[in-house]
Amino acid sequence: MTAVMTQSDIAEAADTVAAQAVTKMSARGVNVFYGEKQAIRDVSIDVDMDHVTAFIGPSGCGKSTFLRTLNRMNDTVASARVEGEITLDGENIYDKSMDVVQLRARVGMVFQKPNPFPKSIYENVAYGPRIHGLARAKGDMDQIVERSLKRAGLWDEVKDRLQDSGTALSGGQQQRLCIARAIAVDPEVILMDEPCSALDPIATAKIEELIHELRGRYAIVIVTHNMQQAARVSQRTAFFHLGTLVEYGETDQIFTAPRQERTKDYITGRYG
Amino acid sequence: MSELSHRAPTDWKTDAMQKRIRKRYRAERRFRAIGMAAVVISASFLFFLLATMIGNGAAGFMRTEVSLPIDFKSAPLEIDRAQLATRGADLALAGAGLEDRVKTAATAAFGAKGEDLIAGNAWTAVRDAIKEDPNLLSQSAHIWVPASSELDAAADGGGEPEFRALVQQLRERGALQSGFNAAFLSRADSTDPTSVGIWGALKGSILTMLVTLLIAFPIGVLSAVYLEEYAPKNRWTDLIEVSINNLAAVPSIIFGLLGLAVFLGTLGLPRSAPLVGGLTLALMIMPVIVIAGRNAIKAVPPSIRDAALGIGASRIQVVFHHVIPLALPGILTGTIIGMARALGETAPLLLIGMRAFIVTPPGGVFDPATVLPVQIFLWSDEVSRGFIEKTSAAIIVLLAFLLAMNALAIYLRNKFETRW
């Protein structure tokens, strides 16, 4: 077994993984720079519709950076520059014809720290559909809010206090509210950037359960520090190290029989 | 590792330790005492200021009136009664020599110095009384007319001994009364302290502040938003930032010169107008609003921006739906600091001609006007005794205006404050 996968190996691995399901998003030869510093080196990966994909790796390995290129959140960083091709349903998202506002509605995001708007629970969920004009009548909006909160598993806890501030909820509830807010605009892909790192174990378990339930309806990509979590929630795992994609494959295979030495060292706790 | 484990456990009970703890407590107590002393000193200064102003100024809101007996029955005024109902009534009464008649009546009633007891414009009170009730012209009546400033001062316990004696006499006859001077709040400047009013200056200030707010607030806030949210971070924006910071520290009189050159000289706007005053003050407080606005916008957590961008809000939606509402309390605080500074500003307004002697309240932003601080400055320069209390009264009005403005700002800030 070679210590480093060649580029063709990775592409091949990506292809084999992709062949089994409908590819939703795919990246080919992506480089990301922050000014002079290169944060991501030549990453190629496919994300499919039916599986949860986890990005793991030590701090600073670029997994969050790469996640943020998938819905162009890096556009807000003035010094960031992205090279290569990322497609959503075969359409290049960095193409001039791609509207970034629409892209972010289609590729939703949940952040590390729960960040509800300092508005009511109802308004938090209704904000997205409202700015995209998804609800025609007041009744429509009520339905969207109810459906989104139900899918996020929060409805029963908040249905009697929809007008309370979203920031008054507990951390775990806030994070589920953020998931409901992302779901409300009917995205195709949901990116989760360490969604449980600020939560206690019980709240974490609820989010993981929720990810299971959402699987299949949305393509889900989750970045996590926690390898057990990756093992629990995902079917595909990508291991990043120093800005490169070291290994990508079935979660079971990554955790039980990693092909790469570096993956094995990380998974067995040699570093990280 | 080994060195640490060999060290003896720390003894927290030694004298040195106890001394250190006592010293720490002493430092704490000392700091608290100094802080309290600072608060007491500043509060007592404020109290002293308010007490003096209210003590001096209260009399400015009061006026003294003298009951003047005047007899039109035995010596009728030669005037056509029909004219009294027309707009020419004032002119007709003046033409009939009413002013002299009032003076004569005063001399007849109060002796040789009688003329000095009533205000110079006392006859206008008689004129207004006649217009209201033309039947007075065929009667002998007592009419309340404003007292002269000397008598007014004497009635308040000051003035010359001669007048104090007269006050005593008039009081005994029931011919003297004091009351709230409503006219002070409805008139403008005058040469006679008994007939001056603050409304002219107050209205001038209100109009000037409105112009200032309407110009400085939107421009200041939009600049802050642009610089913070849109502008690229490069040498040019650094230069702009430094310039704005310096502009906030430029002495106000420089802005007066700028206003004089640009608004009066180049643009040819009318002199002494609230419009020009407002524009000049807007230039002065804009940097303050920009700086406060930028700080307030910076304080909005980036996670809120991410959240909104993450569900597909455009930049402008992020700014107007989330950033500005959250930054508004801070922006309003900055604005009110700027407005308070503008309200108290005198120097730049002197340069653009707002120190003129103006006897009618301005009708609009193009009319000549003066403002409260300039009015205070003008009155404090007067030699007449009556203007001293009017100056204090004007200061009270200025402070009340300031408090009202601050109260409004605090109300708005609390209204928009978001509970996290």
Domain boundaries, chain B: 2-58, 62-186, 199-416
Q: Do the bridges between strand A23-34 and strand A37-48 make them parallel or antiparallel, or are there none, so unpaired?
A: antiparallel
Angle at B202 between CA B197 and CA B203, to 5 degrees: 105
Q: Which residues in chain A touch residue B301, judged by CB atoms under 8 angstroms apart? A: 115
Of B99 and A220, more confident: A220
Task: Report pLDDT digits (tens) over B65-90.
Answer: 888 888 877 777 777 777 777 777 78
For tokens 């009511």, the residue is: A120
CB spacing of B304 vs A115 below 8 angstroms: yes
Q: Are A54 and A238 in contact (CB under 8 A)?
A: yes
CB spacing of B311 vs A128 below 8 angstroms: yes
Q: Nearest to residue B355, comparing CAs of B380, B331, B377?
A: B377
Cα separation, A150 vs A162, whole angstroms: 13
Task: Report pLDDT digits (tens) over A246-268.
Answer: 999 999 999 998 898 888 888 88
High-pLDDT (> 90) share of chain A, %: 47
CB spacing of A118 vs B305 below 8 angstroms: no
Q: Are A121 and B329 in contact (CB under 8 A)?
A: no
A167 interface with B at CB cutoff 8 Å? yes
Q: Does residue A81 form part of some domain? A: no
- One-letter amino acid at A132 equals H
- Identify the pLDDT of residue A20: 54
Q: Which residues in chain A touch residue B317, judged by CB atoms under 8 angstroms apart? A: 131
Task: Classify domain B199-416 by CATH number.
Answer: 1.10.3720.10
Torsion of CA B342, B345, B347, B352, to 10 degrees: 50
Query: Residue A249 belongs to what H/E stretch?
Result: strand A244-250
Per-residue pLDDT of chain B (420 residues; tens, 9 = 90+): 455 567 778 888 889 899 999 999 999 999 999 999 999 999 999 999 889 888 878 877 888 888 888 887 777 777 777 777 777 778 888 887 888 888 888 888 887 777 788 887 788 888 888 888 888 888 888 888 888 877 877 777 777 788 788 788 888 877 787 878 777 888 888 877 777 888 989 999 999 999 999 999 999 999 999 999 888 888 998 999 999 999 988 999 999 999 999 999 899 888 889 999 999 999 999 999 999 999 999 999 999 999 999 998 988 999 999 999 999 988 988 998 899 999 989 999 998 888 888 888 888 889 888 899 999 998 888 877 778 888 888 998 998 999 898 888 888 888 887 655
Q: What is the tally of structural domains in chain A?
A: 1
Alpha helices, DSSP H only, in B248-366? 252-259, 274-298, 302-310, 315-317, 324-343, 347-351
Q: Which residues in chain A touch residue B232, judged by CB atoms under 8 angstroms apart? A: 78
Q: Are A175 and A109 in contact (CB under 8 A)?
A: no
A 89-148 residues with CB < 8 A to B: 101-105, 108-111, 113, 115-118, 127-128, 131-132
Q: In sequence order, what E strands does B345-417 have?
A: none
Residue A5: pLDDT above 70? no
Task: Report pLDDT digits (tens) over A124-173.
Answer: 999 999 998 888 877 889 999 999 999 888 999 998 999 999 988 998 89
- Identify the pLDDT of residue A15: 55
Of B184 and A192, more confident: A192
Q: Does residue A6 form part of some domain? A: no
Confidence of residue A3 (pLDDT cuts 50, 70, 90): very low
B299–chain A nearest CA distance, Å: 14
Q: Which residues in chain B touch residue A105, judged by CB atoms under 8 angstroms apart? A: 311-312
Tell me the three state secondary structure of residue A246: strand
- Identify the pLDDT of residue B244: 92
Candidate from B232, B311, B420 with C-beta closest to A118? B420
**Mean of all residue pLDDT scores within chain A:** 87
CB spacing of B307 vs A181 below 8 angstroms: yes
Question: B271 is written with which tokens?
Answer: 């002199």
Cα A134 to Cα A152, B31, B47, B48: the distances in Å are: 19, 60, 60, 63
Tell me the three state secondary structure of residue A107: strand
Q: What is the CATH number of the domain that holds A245?
A: 3.40.50.300
Task: Report pLDDT digits (tens) over A26-41.
Answer: 999 999 999 889 999 9
In chain B, whose CA is at the least distance from the CA of A168? B420
Task: Report pLDDT digits (tens) over A64-114.
Answer: 999 999 999 988 887 888 999 999 988 899 988 888 888 999 999 999 999
| Separation of CA A158 from chain center | 25
- Identify the pLDDT of residue B209: 94
Q: Are B133 and B154 in contact (CB under 8 A)?
A: no
Max CA separation in chain B (angstroms): 122
CB spacing of A117 vs B317 below 8 angstroms: no
- One-letter amino acid at B167 equals V
Count of alpha carbons within 13 angstroms of residue A32, beta-carbon side: 29
pTM above 0.80, yes or no: no
- Identify the pLDDT of residue A2: 40
Q: Which residues in chain A touch residue B418, judged by CB atoms under 8 angstroms apart? A: 118
Query: What is the span of the domain harbouring residue A262?
Result: 48-72+97-267
CB spacing of A103 vs B310 below 8 angstroms: no
For tokens 């004129």, the residue is: B127
Q: Which residues in chain A touch residue B305, judged by CB atoms under 8 angstroms apart? A: 76
